[in-house]
Amino acid sequence: LAMLWFPIIPFTLEEIWQYIYHKTPEEEKNIFSYKYDIKPILAENDSLILKWQRIFTIKEKFDLKVRAAQAMKKVKGSLEVGIVLNTNEYTKNFIEQNYEDILECVNVSNIKANVSKDHDVKIVKETSEKCARCGHYTIEIGKNLKYRYLCPKCAEILDKENCRNVINYNKT
């Protein structure tokens, strides 16, 4: 992974290179002298790279529509946006399989994909409740009575954090 970042942030990687495990002393000396073939790394992760290229292509299309809606003052921020996508079966399945990744990448509250002959993207303003922690809009706010102003994802995170704090408190 360090070799993939090296062309972008060489000085930082030069500094952390000494803390990374190395197989040989020669490899450890200097990142500049260590030549690593990146092609096998890319070949191993080809499907992952293709997946993320497709996600970023989808993100670019959605971003144009979201920015246009913001410019026309239909929404204030991207988290107020719900996206309705009319597309083919293949893209709908891809979005359903990678829903969380796409949702976080696009930074909107909801994405709904429909199979249709007409391929278009519609922006709708979310009318559901807003999570007090993350700002996403969802109809699931308040399902957890302990965290009634939070979405289920934030409530789960806080439950895990509280469990860690209780365990750490008991250790001391």
Q: Looking at residue 114, what is its pLDDT?
A: 94
Amino acid at the residue 165: N
**Alpha helical stretches, state H, 6-128:** 10-16, 25-29, 39-44, 46-71, 89-97, 99-106
Closest CA to 110 of 131, 86, 102: 102
d(CA 115, CA 85): 8
d(CA 157, CA 161): 6
Provide the mean pLDDT of the chain. Answer: 81
Q: Looking at residue 93, what is its pLDDT?
A: 96
Structure tokens at 86: 């009319």
Residue 172: pLDDT band (50, 70, 90) is: very low
Q: How confident is the model over 81-107, as a mean pLDDT?
A: 93
Closest CA to 152 of 171, 172, 129, 170: 129
pLDDT at 166 over 60: no
d(CA 66, CA 139): 21
Q: Which residue has the higher pLDDT, 162 or 98?
A: 98
